[in-house]
Amino acid sequence: MKKSRIGLVVLSGLCWLVACTNPAGEQRGKVVPEDGLPWKLICLGDGLTAGVGLPPEEAYPAVLARQLIARGKRVKIVNAGIKGETVAGANARIEWLLQQRFQAILLALGPAGLAAGEEEASLATNWKQLLEKIRNANPTALLLVGNPAPYEITDQLHNFPSEEVLNKYNVVLVDLTLPPVAESLAFWLPDGKYLSRAGHQEVALRLEKLCLSLLCE
């Protein structure tokens, strides 16, 4: 399996240490919200997050919520996925999402922008602006970046932020990339573009490991 140009963080206990403490020792993604409300994760992404081709309850954010609740965790997972969403689109609408309280946000933004001809310089600018808006609105939130698109696509289109930008905004990359249709037909719908039930379950399983490490008492 190929790796993208930036090493992806393994979802383990080590990830909890990396994700929740910046170089200055400031804590990110607090385990228990101070207001006593459920721990909230916003999943901002494209059609792979929205669950195109499946009922909303079968998209990975909903699956993840059920799995965590079944384990006795008080959580709320928000599906903010939109078909065709790009980094530029997310940057344009993020202020609306940031009006709510949250402890963590996942940016599962695909390569749609570059595939449509967006220049890498423009992509980098949008990434930086997007991350800065989130940090300004919620300095202590756990900020995750990952995408379940096939790794053959994420390798060809370097759509993740640069390592310098990731470090500046204390962002953690999570490995959500899945094998392409040719290697794992079960993860994809017949059109080969969107995740099947099994694909969403796989993404939810990977995120569950991280969330459980964050929510452990």
Tally the domains of the chain. Answer: 1
Q: Could you report the per-residue pLDDT of 143-164, keeping only the tens digit for each? A: 999 988 876 554 444 567 888 9
**5 within 8 A of 151, measured Cβ to Cβ:** no
**168 within 8 A of 192, measured Cβ to Cβ:** no
Amino acid 15: pLDDT: 37
Structural domain contains residue 6:
no
Structural domain contains residue 2:
no
Structural domain contains residue 103:
yes
Structural domain contains residue 5:
no
Structural domain contains residue 3:
no
Amino acid 202: pLDDT: 97
Residue 44's SS3 state is strand
- Structural domain including 22 reads 13-214
Amino acid 33: pLDDT: 63
pTM score, whole prediction: 0.83
State yes or no: pLDDT of 61 exceeds 80: yes
Q: Could you report the per-residue pLDDT of 169-179, keeping only the tens digit for each? A: 999 989 898 88
- Separation CA 98–CA 134 (nearest Å): 7
Amino acid 124: pLDDT: 85
Amino acid 159: pLDDT: 67
Structural domain contains residue 174:
yes
As a whole number, mean pLDDT of residues 123-152 equals: 90
Please indicate whether residue 212 or residue 19 has the higher confidence score (pLDDT): 212
**208 within 8 A of 67, measured Cβ to Cβ:** yes
CA 111 → CA 44, 61, 126, 215, distances in Å?
Answer: 14, 20, 13, 31
Please indicate whether residue 34 or residue 102 has the higher confidence score (pLDDT): 102
Res. 118 pLDDT band, cuts 50 70 90: low
Structural domain contains residue 185:
yes
% of the chain residues with pLDDT over 70: 74
* CATH for 96: 3.40.50.1110
State yes or no: pLDDT of 9 exceeds 50: no
- Separation CA 88–CA 124 (nearest Å): 10
Structural domain contains residue 7:
no
